[in-house]
Structure 1
Amino acid sequence: MLYAVIAHDSTDPGTFERRMGVRPAHMANGEKMMADGSFLFGGGILDGAGKMTGGVLIVDFETREEVDEWLRSEPYVINKVWDRVEVHPFLVPPQFLGLFPKYQEQPVAG
């Protein structure tokens, strides 16, 4: 099942510097997840000055429990970069199914 993960950085002083220090581990984890098919797409949320303040990821896990298990090992969570994380089931609309052929058989919400 697909999930949209919306992660918001902490507003504590030093969070951006911590983010940048941990970023190589976060990116390496994303590469591993891309290889196993559990991470489809993602990117940073930017503030008005273009500074990263969070992220949005589309991930593929069988259950919500598996999403939570991944988040417990995510470097940005462990290192307290992400302060608040929302997880929502996600549906690919028909016009984007060509980008994600695996999901072409999923039900379409009305």
Structure 2
Amino acid sequence: MTFLVIAKDGTDPDAPARRQRARQRHLDEIRPAVDAGRVRLGGALLDGAGTMIGSALLLEAPSLEAARELLENDVYFKEGVWQQLEIYPFRRAVGLEL
């Protein structure tokens, strides 16, 4: 099952620095899930000034619980970068084959 995730960063003054500190580890640790096809797409959400304020992902998981577990084991969640997770079942209608 495919899930669309909107993971919002904190809005406190240290939020951008917290993201930067965890960024390389996040990218390194998520790579196996990308290679296995569990993370189909991922990237940063930006505000009007181009500052990263969250993440958007498309996940493949057998259930909502499995998708949430994958996210909660990510360094961004564990280190407090992601403060809010919105997870929605997703059905592609047009665009890229996933």
TM-score, normalisation: structure 2: 0.93
Q: Give 2:18's aligned residue.
A: 18
Instruction: Give 1:105's aligned residue.
Output: none
Match of 2:62 in 1: 62
* Distance of 2:50 and 2:15 partners within structure 1: 15
Q: Give deviations 1:12-36, integer Å, cap 9, x for gaps.
A: 1211011001001111122111111
> Which has more radius of gyration?
1
Counterpart AA for 1:96: G
Q: What are the superposed Cα offsets for residues 33-83 of structure 1, whole Å, 9 maximum, x if unpaired? A: 111110001111101110100011000000111112112211111010111
More helix by share: 1
Task: Count the aligned residue pairs.
Answer: 98
Q: Quick one: percent identity of the two aligned structures?
A: 34
Q: Which residue is equivalent to 1:91?
A: 91
RMSD over equivalenced CA pairs, Å: 1.1
CA contact (8 A) 2:30 2:74 kept: no
Higher relative contact order (CA 8 A, sep 6+): 2
